[in-house]
Amino acid sequence: MRMPKAAMHRPVDPSSLTAPVRPVPLDETDHLAGGRLTIDLAALAANWRSLAARSGPSECAGIVKGDGYGIGLEAATGTLADAGCRTFFAATIAEGLRAKAVVPEAAVYVLNGFPPGAAALVADAGLRPVLGSLEEVEDWAALGRSRGRPLPAALHVDTGMNRLGLARDVATSVAADPELRRHLGLTLLMSHLACADTPDHPLNARQFEAFQAARALFPGVPASLANSAATLALPATHFDLVRPGIAVYGGQAVSKRDNPMRPVAVLEGRIIKIREAGAGESVGYGAAETLSRPSRLAVVGIGYADGFPRAAGSSDATGGAAGWLAGHRVPLVGRVSMDLLVYDVTDVPPGAARRGDWIELFGDHVPVDDVAARAGTIGYEVLTHLGSRFSRDYVGQA
């Protein structure tokens, strides 16, 4: 298993990765799994650098939540640090601790804040909570007061998403309270766009104006509003720091536009068996799809237990996802089972579709967002649901 070279961060201990260390050579390890996940760290670094160039002079952060969007938090964090990233965002305290272990000198923010009683844990670990409620603000200020110094944190203001973040009146009251402010070491003011993937959505303009008003309440505090889509399509929202997530990992961020990012994860499934089936016969559970022609079928050892979406299956009424084999796009046939998929490889030359061969489920030829669309979901969900049963190989360098 190849990991990114050391830079400002501590070398990654392979035992800390979510995927097991390979105890045997790659080819033999692949024999133990029905699917393999190849993660291109060079593509990850290139995507981040591209977004950083687009956002300049604003700083570009690294989002490593969701176990690094499914590729492994430690691998993602180390690679982005090697590429030049100095600010990271995790969702939970546990994720923040894992990221901080890789990049101890970096600023690591915890997007979901902290529960009651956990402020000291966050501070002692050197993490920066994103304060999204008055209760969190008061708890963090109280800790700073007790320690005799303001502690670094981000303040999240809600600008129209109605999720986390301080409402306008609460933010105003915090800004107007000198005693509270004195004990808050605010290093970032942030909000989150609800519709940046649709750049002309009217809510984007309303949120932008609301964020500008919030900035006026906290002059001098660095500001952050842009996610992946806004980094790509809404340059006015870049402010001091952008926070691209899915785009760094190769997913499509802006609807109805070409995706300029390189794929990072390639998922392949191994063919367990090639079989023949006649026209009029059905495939899989529920007889969901009936074959319209004599067909050659490849049974693949991946299913929804591996995180491949069940809704990506096919039926007589609705087409499913497609894979890629030997230069051919091959359609998924029937339902996705717990451990198995079936692809129609009738149009693939027989010698190129054999037991033991690998079909690309998504990656260089089949965008992960295409699979997601067939399942009625988004690429984010597909990536973050990638399971632990895959053989994983990290390739490339930052």
- The catalytic residues are 65, 285
**What are the φ/ψ torsions at residue 197 (nearest 5 degrees)?**
-65, -15
Q: Which two tokens stand for residue 92?
A: 């939970």
Residues 6+ apart with CB under 8 A from 350: 296
Nearest alpha carbon to residue 356 among 274, 270, 276, 268: 270
Nearest alpha carbon to residue 180 among 124, 118, 128, 131: 131
* Beta-bridge mates of residue 107: 87
CA–CA gap between residue 236 and residue 326 (Å, rounded): 44
Compute how many other C-beta atoms are within 10 angstroms of the C-beta atom of residue 278.
9
Ordered DSSP codes for 301-319:
S--GGGT--GGG---SSS-
Strand ranges (E), 278-390: 282-283, 289-290, 295-300, 322-325, 328-331, 341-344, 358-362
131's enclosing H/E stretch is: strand 128-131
In this structure, are strands 151-156 and 223-224 parallel, antiparallel, or unpaired? Answer: unpaired
**What are the φ/ψ torsions at residue 155 (nearest 5 degrees)?**
-110, 125
CA–CA gap between residue 383 and residue 32 (Å, rounded): 22
Nearest alpha carbon to residue 159 among 109, 234, 221, 209: 209
CA–CA gap between residue 150 and residue 334 (Å, rounded): 59
